[in-house]
Structures are given as C-alpha cells and as structure tokens.
C-alpha cells in the first residue's frame, strides 16, 4: 500500500468510483475560507453576486480547476451512504427528470418498440 494510503486499480468493466467519505473542509480549506467571506452564507459559488470564491478565480488567486474539483467532490458527496444500484437510479432519475423521470423514459421506450 502506498505511503498516503491510496491506490488506483484499472479494472475492465468498472464504470465509476464513488467517494466513501469526503471531508471537504479539510481537502479544500482554501475554498472554505474564501466562501466564509461571501455575502451569502449559503453561496453555491456558481454565479451569485459578491461571491468571494468566484472573485478569487477571476483575479487568478484560485485556479478554476481547484474550484471545479471542489464542486465535483461536493456533487459526489451527496451519494454517501448509498449502494451502487441506488446511486445509479438517482443519477438516471436526475438525467431524465426534465422528461418526467425514469419511469416515463421507460414507458416511451416501450411505446417506440411497439410502434416498430
């Protein structure tokens, strides 16, 4: 096992990896500190006015890639505690939410098959 406790395994058929637990406040302390200076306490750092994190990206003191990484980890963190099947169902429902959800998408697929 590597010194820092992480390894990467390339496994055929593996579609994605999920975080088991994420401590964003430690991993992204710089962004947390900037966010604490935002005008709004619930700032998502995605275009709100007076966002200190976005300002730091614009003036070059915070790399945009760093903010992107933070947002990506935050997004993945919402699946903590779910198994892979549950995560897949949540993601599919999010993808098809504009069209009535996965149930309506399956119904549409069946109707198209019947029409052939």
Q: Considering the chain, tell me which residue range(s) the CATH 1.10.40.50 domain(s) occupy.
A: 23-78
For residue 2, pLDDT over 60 is answered with: no
For residue 1, pLDDT over 80 is answered with: no
**Domain 23-78: CATH class, spelled out:** mainly alpha
Q: How far is CA 24 from CA 19, 58, 59, in A?
A: 11, 22, 23
What's the confidence (pLDDT) of residue 3? 65
For residue 74, pLDDT over 80 is answered with: yes
- Whole-prediction pTM value? 0.59
For residue 14, pLDDT over 70 is answered with: no
Mean predicted lDDT score pLDDT of the chain: 80
């Amino acid at each position: 096992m590597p010194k820092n406790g992480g390894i990467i395994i390339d496994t055929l058929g593996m579609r994605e990896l999920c975080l088991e637990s994420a401590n964003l406040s430690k991993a992204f302390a710089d962004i947390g500190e900037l966010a604490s200076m935002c005008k709004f306490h619930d700032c998502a750092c995605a275009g709100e006015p007076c966002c200190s994190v976005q300002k730091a990206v614009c003036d070059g003191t915070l790399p945009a890639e760093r903010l992107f990484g933070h947002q990506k980890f935050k997004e993945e963190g919402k699946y903590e505690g779910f198994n892979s099947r549950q995560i897949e169902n949540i993601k599919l429902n999010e993808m098809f939410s504009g069209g009535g959800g996965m149930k309506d998408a399956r119904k549409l697929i069946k109707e198209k098959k019947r029409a052939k």
